Amino acid sequence: MSLISMPFVDSGVDTALHGVAAVVMVVTVAAAAFGFWKIHEMPINKAHKKQHQQIGLITALTWIGFVWHWVWVIAVMVAFVDGDKALRRIRDVWREKEPEIESSITQEEQNNA
């Protein structure tokens, strides 16, 4: 055997290795496609589990997200964020007063007077 010769060339082993490589490649591509599909359908599954009011919107955004990926991000946000709770929290934060700052300012004014 010289340094130039290739092992397994023009033999049955060569054909078997090509077959194994083809199977591995097909299985890898299929697994990647299946994983992409499962991740992409995640907002729809979450909306169905929570019985979300906007299931139709989330489904439409998810399908549009196959073409424009930024739309899929919106579908994820709509599916995972509870809009009512978020709006209530924003409202409560907006209405909160800052008593600690006001009381510390009045104490400093009293100390200076």
**Neighbour-count burial of 47, counting CB atoms closer than 10 A to its CB (0-12 exposed, 13-18 middle, 19+ buried):** buried
Closest CA to 76 of 56, 49, 47: 47
State phi, psi for 6 to the nearest 5 degrees: -105, 130
Q: Model confidence over 63-92: pLDDT tens digits? A: 998 889 899 999 999 898 877 888 888 888
| DSSP class of 2 | -
pLDDT for res 109:
66
pLDDT-wise least confident of 13-17, 18-22, 38-42, 98-102: 98-102
State how far the Cα of 69 lies from the Cα of 21, in Å rounded to an integer. 32
Amino acid letter, 61: L
pTM here is 0.57
- Tokens matching residue 17: 């290795």
